[in-house]
Amino acid sequence: MSRATFFEVEILDVTSREQLCFLDKVEPCSTIGEIKNLFHKSYPQWYPARQALKLDPKRKQLRDDEVLQNLPVGTSATMYFRDLGPQLGWTMVFLAEYIGPLLTYLLFYFRLPYVYSPSYAFTSSPHPVVTLACACHTCHYVKRLIETIFVHRFSHGTMPLRTIVRNCVYYWSFSAWLAYYINHPLYTPPSYGERQVNYALVIFVLCEIGNFSIHLNLNHLRGDGSRCRKFPCPTKNPFTWLFFFVSCPNYTYEVGAWVSFSIMTQCLPVALYSVLGFIQMTIWAKGKHRAYSRKFKDYPSIRMAIIPLIV
């Protein structure tokens, strides 16, 4: 085989521009994932999931499935390396993020000693809504754990450890705060009594089923094992018909579940958590909506990001 059939790849540090590695005789059909593996041999501390490789320091990192000969580089490529920091697999990430709130809430529900004053240790609330709220909260997080293990097909293998720590602090501390108030011995049940609780429960259950239906729908989009984002569409399941109006109905249902939980418990910290979740999910949904509109020329113009006809 002649030399011209091989590529040379120079890898520079993105900040110092110092040369970290020079790979010659790289097969033209090598993927970025394979180049990361070669780089890893020289730097064992930077395993592939920690590496970001870019052709331009200011542009997006290259995907692992991109092929060297399809990049605009000729036969000698210069790539810029950035260390993404320690990583954890997605399943571990979500287990850490979701098991925390699940267990934290139960500490307050069972009123473990030192949670409230000692005379309330292991007592239970006289209000049925407190037990119902605990059941809803537990089901919500059990559902998320089940989806993480069996339903979601993530495109990225890992998440940076510092992001996980930030997310865990957010989810764990918020659930402790909500649980503290809802299970407090001085908690007062909703103003409109059983009627308010029952209506909220119906909306909560519908939103949870809707959220699960959308996650199943997204799972089917990756049925062929691909990692790219496809055109999401409604199916025969009526819960997916929200796709006619929004790009991220899973977020719409998630917000609906938290709003109904706020109404059911009539608890201010829950309402605050719902508002923060709504803001965060709206930012993500708008980003995804823009990406769909850019990628698919025939993307329906009636679709909004998260709230039909509004946002």
Residues that bind ligand NAP (CB under 6 A): 152-156, 211, 218, 221-222, 229-230, 232, 248, 250-251, 254, 277, 280-281, 284
Three-state secondary structure call for residue 189: coil
Minimum distance from residue 51 beta carbon to ligand NAP (Å):
18
Tell me how many degrees the CA angle 187-190-196 measures, rounded to the nearest 5: 150
Cβ at position 291, least distance to ligand NAP in Å: 9
Residues contacting 183, CB < 8 A, separation 6+: 108, 109, 111, 125, 130, 134
What is the nearest approach in angstroms of ligand NAP to the Cβ of residue 202? 19
Distance CA 277, CA 101 (A): 15
Instruction: Identify the CA nearest to 144 among candidates 206, 215, 221.
Output: 215
Q: Which is nearer to ligand NAP, 78 or 293 (CB)?
A: 293
**Residue ranges with strand state E in the chain:** 7-13, 19-26, 51-54, 76-83, 87-89, 158-160
Phi, psi at 182, each rounded to 5°: -65, -35
Helix axes 161-182, 268-295, angle to 10 degrees: 140
Do 203 and 264 meet the contact criterion of CB atoms below 8 Å apart? no
125/213 with CB nearer ligand NAP: 213
Length of the chain: 311
Nearer to ligand NAP, 192 or 296 (CB): 296
Tell me how far apart the alpha carbons of residues 5 and 12 are, in angstroms, rounded to a whole number: 23
Question: 137: closest CA among 171, 170, 114?
Answer: 171
Residue closer to ligand NAP by CB (options 244, 284) is 284
**DSSP class of residue 246?**
B
Nearer to ligand NAP, 117 or 280 (CB): 280
Nearest to 221, CA basis, from 233, 211, 213 = 233
Parallel, antiparallel or unpaired: strands 87-89 and 19-26: unpaired
Q: How far is the CB of 92 from ligand NAP (least distance, A)?
A: 15
The minimum distance between CB 300 and ligand NAP, in angstroms, equals: 14
By C-beta, is 202 or 276 nearer to ligand NAP?
276
Largest interatomic CA distance in the chain: 84
Residue 38 Cβ, how far from ligand NAP at the closest point, in Å?
26
Minimum CB separation from ligand NAP for residue 250, in Å? 3
- Please say which residue, 100 or 277, places its beta carbon nearer to ligand NAP: 277
Minimum Å distance from CB 54 to ligand NAP?
A: 20
Closer to ligand NAP by CB, 100 or 189: give it: 100
d(CA 61, CA 68): 14
Least distance from ligand NAP to the Cβ atom of residue 161, Å: 18
When the beta carbons of 189 and 210 are compared against ligand NAP, the nearer one is 210
